[in-house]
Amino acid sequence: MKKSAIIIALLIISITINAQTWIKTDGGTAFKFISKNEKGTKVIPNMILLADLYGTAKKASNPLEDTVIFNSVSSDKPFYIPTEQPGLQNIFYKLHAGDSIEIKIIADTFYNKTFSSPVPDYVAKGSIVNLFFHVQEALTQTEIEQKSREQNTPLIKVDSLRLKKYCNNLKGVKKLKNGLRYKILKPNPTGIMTKNGSMVSVKYKGWLIEGDVFDENIKGEPFKFVVGMNQVIKGWDEGLRLMKTGEKCRLIIPWYLAYGSHGNGPIPPFTSIIFDVELIDIK
C-alpha cells in the first residue's frame, strides 16, 4: 500500500478511537487532533504545507450521502497548501509537521471564503465539509524555492512536452509573447471589450492537460472579479483582456502564469492548466 494511502487509512481509523476535544474557531469551524508531533517544525505564517488531504461533503442530490471532494491518495501526490488560506489559517498556525487533524467547516464558508467561489452544484449548501489533514512538511518560502530548484528542471520539461502535444492537436490557437495561448471558441464582435478595472462575471471550467477537472461553475453562479487587480492568476488577468462580453475562450496557461512553483490544492507545482471561460457581463 502506498505511503499516503496508509496515512489516510490511519486517519479514518483514528476517528473511531480518538476522543480529542473539538476546538472551535471563527465562523463555526472546528477541528481536533488525531495525532500530534510536537517535535515537528512549527507552522508559522507564510509557509507552504505539503499535506495529504481527504475531504467529503453531503451530496446536493441526497444530503444523507457523502461525496468525496478531495483525495490526494488517488494520485499519490500531496497538496501544496499556503498557510494563508482564508478560514483555515488560524487552524494551520496551531500545527506542526507530522500532525494529523480533522476539520469540520460549513460548505458555504469553505467555498465562499476559502476559495472565493460558490458552493458546487453537487454539494449540499449549508452542509458540513469534513477534511482529514496530515501535514507531511511545513516549509518556508526559502525552503520551497530550494526544493523547487532541485525539482524544477524535470518537472518543467515534462510539463512543456505535455503542453506542446496538447497545442499541436488544437487548431486555431494563438500565442502571446508571455507564453499564454488562447482560442476564441464563441466570438461576439459586438460585445464590450474588457480592460483593467472592469468588474467581470464569468462561467468557467478548469482542468489539467491530462483531463482532470479541478474547478468549475458552469451550472452555478457566475464568478465575479476585477480585471488587472491581482485577484486571480496572471493567466486570467491576461486572458480576460482579450475577450468581449458574450464570448467564450479557451485559455491555455503556462505554469508561470498559473500557480507557479507552489501549485495549489490538486494543481501540482510547475503545471500548465486549461480554462474554458465565458464572459457573461462587464460592469
Q: Annotated active-site positions, please? A: 204, 214-215, 233, 259, 275
Cβ contact 120:111 at 8 Å: yes
User: Grid coordinates representing 111?
Assistant: 467555498
Cβ contact 210:166 at 8 Å: no
User: Grid coordinates representing 63?
Assistant: 444530503
What is the C-alpha to C-alpha distance for residues 64 and 246, in angstroms, rounded to an integer?
39
Produce one character per residue of 33-59: b if its CB has 16 or more CB atoms within 10 Å, e if not: bbeeeeebbebeeebbbbbbbbbbbbe
Instruction: Using DSSP bridges, classify how beta strands 23-24 and 248-253 pair: parallel, antiparallel or unpaired.
Output: unpaired
